[in-house]
Amino acid sequence: MQKKIASILFSTRLTAVLFIVFAVAMGIGTFLDAASETSPTPYSRALIYNAWWFEAIMGLFVVNFVGNIFRFRLYKKEKWATLTLHFSFILILVGAFVTRYIGYEGVIHIRRRYRKYHAF
């Protein structure tokens, strides 16, 4: 049973499905942002980006990438380029996790001053 679960979690088919679902979700979120004129960000955040299933997709990505590193023995010297690609995806997803749960948002007001520039 454990081997069956591992074969599903570390399969390239799961990777492909996760990439497709992730891309479609981000595309829908982008179109929701463009469609709403008043306040686009909170709506798409509540519906997609802060949803539990979106975070589950990213968590499955990390599990899948780590499993594939060991499954395909990417730590060997001749496969370091592919290891770098997988490790970079893992770091991006960990960075998204840190930003989501530890980071904060702020607003800064930038004053705009108008100057007249004279040609000498």
- The pLDDT tens digits of the residues spanning 107-116 come to 788 777 766 6
- Asked if the structure places residue 88 within a domain, the reply is yes
Domain of residue 55: give its range.
Answer: 2-101
Confidence of residue 120 (pLDDT cuts 50, 70, 90): low
User: Which residue bears the tokens 């492909």?
Assistant: 16
Q: Are 16 and 39 in contact (CB under 8 A)?
A: no
pLDDT tens-digit readout, 21-68: 999 999 999 888 877 666 657 888 889 988 999 999 999 999 999 999
- Asked if the structure places residue 75 within a domain, the reply is yes
- Asked if the structure places residue 96 within a domain, the reply is yes
- Asked if the structure places residue 116 within a domain, the reply is no
- Asked if the structure places residue 106 within a domain, the reply is no
- Asked if the structure places residue 113 within a domain, the reply is no
Confidence of residue 5 (pLDDT cuts 50, 70, 90): very high
